[in-house]
């Protein structure tokens, strides 16, 4: 072998060794804000039956402001509310109301202040979701106002009622295909022509003004005499991933009646907006800034979008998390315990779920941590996370959970066993007469010797910096598997009964040879 080849192999070996302890995935710090990091980015547990194993998840903050985070779960409520603090939207400076018109309440509820109705809501079609900012689906009499010039508020002038929906706030991962908009009606007198407009903000960080809105869908409807009802208008438009949708219910000058959109004072997760040029408000302004904080619009949007399932911990009796919320200072990290419980589960069970974390990180406000539980009744002990010392297994079967890191040599003695799934070993690994020796998707910085195994012998999808010996394993009808490994060194197999198989996935050997029973693998 030439010096050049030696240097090349050494470089490969060093690269594999460096990969043994991969750095956590970090978010780029957002100027003037928090930046959430996770280590690890996924959690898996390999454990026996009727055991509880706790893993650690470090939630870090590489930004320059405190990070507020919380666990987010799916809700049985058919409405979907934001899963994190809502992205703020700035409006133009609110002018002093001017003109001959004024904001007036609906005149049809005189004598019935506080009358509350929860109208029947449209049933969202299967496969759709409905976004809302309303804490309750109620319409409360006297909550809404409209711009009116004459006739005691009976006739209303051209107006727009608006809400904004930032897709990231709802953990919508891709586009949102809008199918309908629903809104409450506190009162409609006579006949009102209503237009529903869908906009996408051109610059989501800019002002909520019409010059910054791109019309992506519109539909009209006619509403006649009614009060305290709910209306749904079919309208279509595609909201690009990561953008902000603005929904407007607009009316022209009404010569034959008036229109007051339904509202309540019961709480909202984002502002409601109103514009009415005849009342001196040509651009959307917060109803609170206009002096009507009780006017929290009942205005929702239905559509089709990809959202992750967030089942932990409510829908996963086998997985729990503690704590479920916290605050992390800049440059610090908080350790969260994620527990896997295999009580009552049978051998071979594999369960998966998503742990969802929302935060006020402006760049990565919603993160999903995949969880996987594998139950193997052979596991007497499970090692998770970092194990800084060498490991010697003298009895029972030790399982290395995915992500486990052993900081030295591993030896498995006669009659003991080792099962390792996606683990890291920084040193040589040897088994001598083990009951079971299985390494799948592992990384080993050192040679491997699997000798004299009596139950199962598996080396699959593993990166090895060193030679591999598979010798004198007697596993009866259970195949000896040597498959899809990446080895810097030689692969030598001899005296195994049955002879090793690669299952159709060949091994890659660099700087050495495939010998004897493994010559064709």
> Looking at residue 64, which CATH number applies to its domain?
2.60.40.10
Residue 13 neighbours by CB distance under 10 Å: 18
- Strand (E) or helix (H) holding 16: helix 3-19
Tell whether the model's pLDDT for residue 7 goes beyond 50. no
Same domain, 89 and 191: yes
- Asked if the structure places residue 490 within a domain, the reply is yes
- Asked if the structure places residue 5 within a domain, the reply is no
**% of the chain with per-residue pLDDT over 90:** 74
Residue 44: closest CA among 438, 402, 443: 402
Q: Provide the pLDDT for residue 10.
A: 36
- Asked if the structure places residue 16 within a domain, the reply is no
pTM for this prediction: 0.68
Where are any strands of DSSP class E within 269-311? 273-276, 281-286, 296-297, 299-304
Residue 84 — very low, low, confident or very high, per pLDDT cuts 50/70/90? confident
- Asked if the structure places residue 52 within a domain, the reply is yes
Question: Strands 281-286, 145-148: parallel, antiparallel or unpaired by DSSP?
Answer: unpaired
Residue 3 — very low, low, confident or very high, per pLDDT cuts 50/70/90? very low
Model confidence pLDDT, tens digit, residues 449-492: 999 999 999 999 999 999 999 999 999 999 999 999 999 999 99
Same domain, 190 and 333: no
Yes or no: say if 356 and 28 are a contact pair by the CB < 8 Å rule. Answer: no
Same domain, 144 and 258: yes
- Asked if the structure places residue 9 within a domain, the reply is no
Residue 435: closest CA among 411, 410, 418, 448: 418
Same domain, 139 and 199: yes
Same domain, 367 and 472: no
End-to-end Cα spacing for the chain: 23
d(C-alpha 247, C-alpha 208), whole Å: 12
Q: Provide the pLDDT for residue 20.
A: 38
Same domain, 231 and 93: yes
Q: Provide the pLDDT for residue 335.
A: 96
Same domain, 351 and 398: no
Same domain, 396 and 368: no
- Asked if the structure places residue 506 within a domain, the reply is yes
Q: Provide the pLDDT for residue 78.
A: 63
The structural domain count of the chain equals: 3
Q: Give the CA distances from residue 199 to residues 204, 206, 210, 218, 235, in Å, rounded to whole numbers and listed in that order.
A: 11, 14, 9, 9, 12
Same domain, 37 and 118: no
- Asked if the structure places residue 3 within a domain, the reply is no
Q: Show the domain range for 234.
A: 79-304
Same domain, 100 and 236: yes
Same domain, 178 and 126: yes
Same domain, 405 and 512: yes
């Amino acid at each position: 072998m030439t010096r050049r080849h030696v240097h090349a192999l050494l470089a490969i070996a060093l690269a594999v060794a460096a990969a043994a302890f991969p750095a956590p995935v970090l978010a780029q710090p957002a100027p003037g804000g928090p930046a959430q990091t996770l280590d690890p980015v996924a959690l898996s547990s390999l454990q026996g039956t009727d055991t509880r194993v706790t893993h650690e998840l470090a939630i870090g903050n590489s930004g320059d402001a405190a990070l507020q985070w919380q666990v987010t779960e799916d809700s049985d409520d058919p409405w979907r509310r934001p899963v994190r603090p809502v992205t703020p939207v700035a409006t133009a400076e609110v002018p002093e109301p001017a003109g001959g018109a004024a904001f007036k309440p609906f005149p049809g509820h005189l004598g019935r202040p506080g009358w509350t109705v929860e109208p029947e809501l449209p049933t969202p079609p299967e496969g759709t979701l409905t976004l809302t900012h309303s804490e309750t689906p109620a319409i409360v009499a006297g909550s809404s106002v409209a711009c009116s010039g004459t006739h005691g508020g009976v006739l209303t002038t051209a107006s727009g009622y608006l809400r904004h929906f930032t897709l990231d706030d709802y953990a919508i991962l891709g586009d949102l295909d809008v199918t309908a908009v629903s809104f409450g009606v506190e009162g409609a007198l006579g006949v009102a022509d209503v237009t529903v407009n869908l906009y996408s903000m051109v610059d989501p960080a800019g002002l909520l003004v019409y010059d910054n809105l791109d019309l992506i869908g519109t539909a009209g409807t006619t509403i006649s005499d009614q009060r305290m009802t709910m209306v749904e208008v079919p309208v279509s438009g595609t909201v690009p991933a990561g953008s902000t949708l603005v929904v407007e219910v607009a009316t022209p000058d009404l010569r034959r009646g008036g229109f007051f959109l339904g509202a309540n004072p019961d709480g909202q997760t984002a502002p409601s907006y109103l514009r009415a040029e005849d009342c001196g408000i040509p651009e959307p302004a917060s109803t609170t800034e206009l002096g009507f904080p009780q006017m929290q619009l009942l205005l929702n949007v239905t559509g089709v979008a990809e959202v992750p399932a967030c089942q932990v911990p409510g829908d996963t009796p086998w997985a729990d998390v503690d704590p479920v919320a916290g605050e992390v200072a800049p440059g610090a990290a908080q350790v969260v315990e994620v527990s896997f419980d295999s009580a009552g589960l049978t051998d071979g069970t594999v369960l998966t779920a998503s742990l969802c974390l929302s935060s006020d990180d402006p760049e990565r406000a919603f993160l999903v941590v995949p969880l996987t539980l594998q139950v193997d009744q052979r596991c007497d002990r499970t090692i998770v996370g970092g194990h800084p010392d060498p490991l010697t297994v003298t009895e029972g079967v030790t399982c290395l959970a995915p992500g486990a890191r052993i900081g030295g040599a591993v030896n498995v003695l006669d009659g003991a066993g080792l099962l390792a799934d996606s683990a890291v070993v920084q040193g040589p690994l040897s088994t001598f007469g083990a009951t079971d020796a299985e390494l799948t998707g592992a990384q080993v910085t050192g040679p491997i010797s699997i000798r004299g195994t009596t139950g199962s012998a598996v080396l699959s999808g593993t990166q090895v910096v060193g030679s591999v010996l598979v010798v004198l394993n007697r596993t009866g009808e259970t195949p000896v598997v040597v498959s899809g490994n990446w080895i810097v060194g030689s692969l030598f197999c001899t005296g195994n009964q049955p002879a090793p198989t690669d299952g159709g996935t060949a091994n890659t050997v660099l700087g050495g040879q495939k010998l004897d029973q493994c010559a064709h693998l």
